[in-house]
Structure 1
Amino acid sequence: MPQSASAAAPSSRARIRRLPERAHYDASTVAAIVDAAMICTVAFQIDGVVHAIPTIHWREGDHLYIHGAKASRMLKALTAGEACVTIALADGLVLARSAMHHSMNYRSVVIYGRFELVTDPAHKLGSLRAFIEGFYPGRWDTLRPISDKELNATGLLRIALAEASAKVRDWGVKDDAEDLDWPVWAGVIPLRTATGEPLTEADSVGERVPATRFG
Structure 2
Amino acid sequence: MMEMDEEIRCLKEYRDKNRDYPVIWARCSRRLIELYRLSGEEAEYKGELTDYVLHHRPELELYRELKSISQEAEWEAIREELFAGAPYDSANYIYYAEEGLYERILDGLRHSGIICQLDRYEPLLREHYPARILQMYEEYVVMRSEPATDRNTYRHLVEYLKKMKSYPGGEERVDMIVQDWKARYGRRHAMMEELEQLE
TM-score with structure 2 setting the length: 0.24
- TM-score between the two structures when normalised by the length of structure 1: 0.22
Please state which structure has a larger fraction of its residues in strand: 1
Per chain length, whose mean CA-contact separation is higher, i.e. which structure has more relative contact order (CA < 8 Å, sep 6+)?
1
Which structure would you say has the larger Rg? Answer: 2
